[in-house]
Structure 1
Amino acid sequence: MWTDTEWLAQAAFWAGQHALPLSLVLLTLLLASTWAGWRLLWPGARLGGPRAQKTLLTALGITTLLLGAGVFTMLARALLMGPELGRVDQLFTDTLLAHVPPSALPVFALLTHLADTAVLTGLGVGVAVALVSWRQPGLALAWVAAVGGNSLLNVSLKQVFARTRPLDADGLALAPGFSFPSGHSSGAVVAYGMLAYLALRLLPARWHLPALLTAVGIAFSVCVSRLFLRVHFASDVIAGWMSGTVWLALCIMGVELLRRAAKG
């Protein structure tokens, strides 16, 4: 009978062999589930009135927070407990190297720039200035806290785990420093997730679902780009995704609590 590690190794090998079509399938499923969730939950909440809507959104936020924290904790514990996770990660990375055509890598190199430090810094400053000019100082402060706080959190976590990066990257993306969790992954989730939240708050209703779908698509694409460029292990990317999700949920829930308190 296979052990859990052997099952994971087989899954990693299969996923590495089919990484390109698998990523497209996962992106399609993620966008479809986002669209379906919006259509089902948002109008359905309104049928029960504002109180039911708030209850559903609060439950969704808490569930997202707990799920993200649970997955991150599981990965962190596996990383600290021994070499098994590293072996599975390396197998997946080696399989990617053998099965992903080099012609696909420049596309992922472009996608990964959407969460470069320079890009997110410029986006952070630009959005903050725009929000202040639109007389939204509270949202500007929330935006800066979300994006800046995530950056500090990621740097701190990297120092705690001090994991080295894969050694066979193609050089199409700069990746200094430690590897766990992925800063590009967490940064994309928080920055583009907060942009979607701001769109829900400030833009007309017809833009809400497109903004949400765009944010989900960009965040996922940045995450998988770090895998295909082989500047992160799979567990780094998943952990970055989860830490970013937890921080994003905390920030949005905090803003909403303050908003409700201000309304009395």
Structure 2
Amino acid sequence: MRFVEARLTPGDEFGLHLTAGAALMMAAVAVFAEVAEDVAENDGVAAFDRHVSDWMHAHAQEPYTSLMWLFTHLHSVAGMVVLVLLAGVFFWRRPQPHGRYWLLALALSVPGGMLLNVALKHIFQRARPVFEEPMLTLATYSFPSGHTVAATLFWGLMASYAVMGGGRWRVRCALAGAATLMVLLTGVSRIYLGAHYPSDVLAAMVEGCGWLAVCITGCSTLRRRRAAQAARLQTS
């Protein structure tokens, strides 16, 4: 019972935040494994991949096509470099030491998660959708979506900062909702442009949530542990 109580204590260095992070990470792994199994067997969510992709490709028209290109370019490698640099400057200028822990979480989550995604692509080696008149042609693998995982990691981190940073709940909920919308639109853009199947996008979102849970929880635990050590030194 003492162990359980310690894991559920909000202020403890190995308390509720660590439990919640571990639970989210394990849930993400379980969902990702289920989606990957569906893709391998062409069953479950993957059974609808071709139908959804064909429908979106057949109904592509302006101004939606230009909007989808905008979200795709924004979350490309070049776009993510710019976004991460801007966020890095923002966190560096926040009150310390909290700002630097968020900066560490940013450095670990977005670049690290994008590298993890490349590794997963080469593990599963799923071919991309093929159309007679493609809007976008890529030679790399499809599963999971790199643009979507980048958006999930970046906007998920910013939403976490907004929610945990204090302020009015309406503002925090609005910022979290805006970040979620950015992720969803990025995922839709990849399906719309014919670069990915819906299951690629879903797996990328789950992958991003799991990796983000690891990074944020790890940095939060490090911050709390150092704070506890400093407090013990002051009282000794």
TM-score range, shorter chain: 0.7 to 0.9
1:253 corresponds to: 217
Cα distance in 2 for residues equivalent to 1:186 and 1:237:
8
On the 8 A contact 1:111/1:221 being kept in 2, the answer is yes
Cα distance in 1 for residues equivalent to 2:220 and 2:47:
42
% of aligned pairs identical? 28
**Which one of the candidate residues 49, 52, 58 is aligned to 1:89?**
49
- Give the number of the structure whose residues are more often helix, by fraction: 1
**Which one of the candidate residues 125, 140, 147 is aligned to 1:162?**
125
After TM superposition, give the deviation of residue 246 of structure 1 in Å. Answer: 0.5
After TM superposition, give the deviation of residue 220 of structure 1 in Å. Answer: 1.4
**Match for 1:222: what amino acid?**
T
**TM-score, structure 2 normalization:** 0.77
After TM superposition, give the deviation of residue 111 of structure 1 in Å. Answer: 2.5
Gaps of 5+ in 1: 1-48
On the 8 A contact 2:101/2:223 being kept in 1, the answer is no
**Which one of the candidate residues 40, 55, 61 is aligned to 1:102?**
61
**Which one of the candidate residues 116, 129, 147 is aligned to 1:184?**
147
After TM superposition, give the deviation of residue 200 of structure 1 in Å. Answer: 3.9
2:178 corresponds to: 214
Secondary structure of 1:180's counterpart equals coil
1:229 corresponds to: 193
Q: Which has the higher contact order (CA 8 A, sep 6+)?
A: 2
On the 8 A contact 1:114/1:188 being kept in 2, the answer is no
Note the 1:101-140 alignment, pairs <5 A. Answer: 101-103=60-62, 104-134=64-94, 135=96, 136-140=99-103
* Alignment deviations for residues 33-53 of structure 1 (CA, whole Å, 9 cap, x no partner): xxxxxxxxxxxxxxxx9559x
On the 8 A contact 2:17/2:217 being kept in 1, the answer is no
On the 8 A contact 2:60/2:192 being kept in 1, the answer is no
2:25 corresponds to: 65
Cα distance in 2 for residues equivalent to 1:254 and 1:112:
30
C-alpha RMSD of the superposition: 2.9
Gaps of 5+ in 2: 1-8, 229-236
Of stretches 133-142 and 109-118 in structure 1, the one that deviates more from structure 2 is 133-142
After TM superposition, give the deviation of residue 56 of structure 1 in Å. Answer: 6.2
Cα distance in 2 for residues equivalent to 1:89 and 1:217:
21
* Alignment deviations for residues 151-190 of structure 1 (CA, whole Å, 9 cap, x no partner): 110111111111111112742x564411000011111111
**Match for 2:31: what amino acid?**
V
On the 8 A contact 1:108/1:229 being kept in 2, the answer is yes
C-alpha change, 1:194 and 1:175, in structure 2 (3 Å) is: farther
Cα distance in 2 for residues equivalent to 1:213 and 1:71:
22
On the 8 A contact 1:158/1:181 being kept in 2, the answer is yes
Cα distance in 1 for residues equivalent to 2:47 and 2:34:
16
**Match for 2:173: what amino acid?**
L
